Amino acid sequence: MKRKLLLVIALAATACFPGANIASATDPYAATMLWSNQMAAQRAWHGNYYYLPYGQPTALIVPPTAHMRQTLSWGVSQNLMYPLNHQFGRNASQPGAMPTGSFQATPHWPSHTDQFGVYYVRGPW
């Protein structure tokens, strides 16, 4: 009787486990990497403002394990979180720097953290 019970339990376990096996990926970041890549492919890594000392939008490298970025705006206040989709990769991409005037300057009275021209990009794995 005990043995039968064991067998039934084992059968139930077998019925459950194949799915679990498939889901047990060795890479816990695989799905999020895919989402990030898809999101990044449809969005610019910068917010169209240039960083004053450099004249171009400037990337600030953060660890690849970083998830979210926080933006603040004042005046009409906002406090928003976005996922950090962009990540540095091996493909050399064109164009590099754009001609002067392609991007907006930081306003005299900035009202948003994006307006300073420094944007997070995650480092490569």
Q: Which residues of the shown chain bind other proteins in the complex (CB under 8 A)?
A: 3, 7, 10-11, 13-14, 17-18, 21-22, 24-27, 30, 37, 40-46, 51, 53-54, 56-65, 86-98, 102-103, 121, 123-125
Q: Give the shortest CB-67-to-other proteins separation in angstroms.
A: 12
Residue 121 has φ and ψ, to the nearest 5°, of -135, 135
Residue 88 has φ and ψ, to the nearest 5°, of -65, 140
CB-count burial class (<10 Å; 0-12, 13-18, 19+) for 124:
exposed
Task: Work out the widest C-alpha separation in the chain, in whole angstroms.
Answer: 82
Of 103 and 116, the one with the shorter C-beta distance to other proteins is: 103
Q: In terms of Cα–Cα distance, which of 55, 54, 82, 59 is closest to 70?
A: 82
Q: Give the shortest CB-78-to-other proteins separation in angstroms.
A: 21
Q: Give the shortest CB-10-to-other proteins separation in angstroms.
A: 5
Of 88 and 110, the one with the shorter C-beta distance to other proteins is: 88
Q: Radius of gyration over alpha carbons of the chain, in Å?
A: 23
Of 61 and 81, the one with the shorter C-beta distance to other proteins is: 61
Q: Give the shortest CB-76-to-other proteins separation in angstroms.
A: 24
Of 51 and 69, the one with the shorter C-beta distance to other proteins is: 51
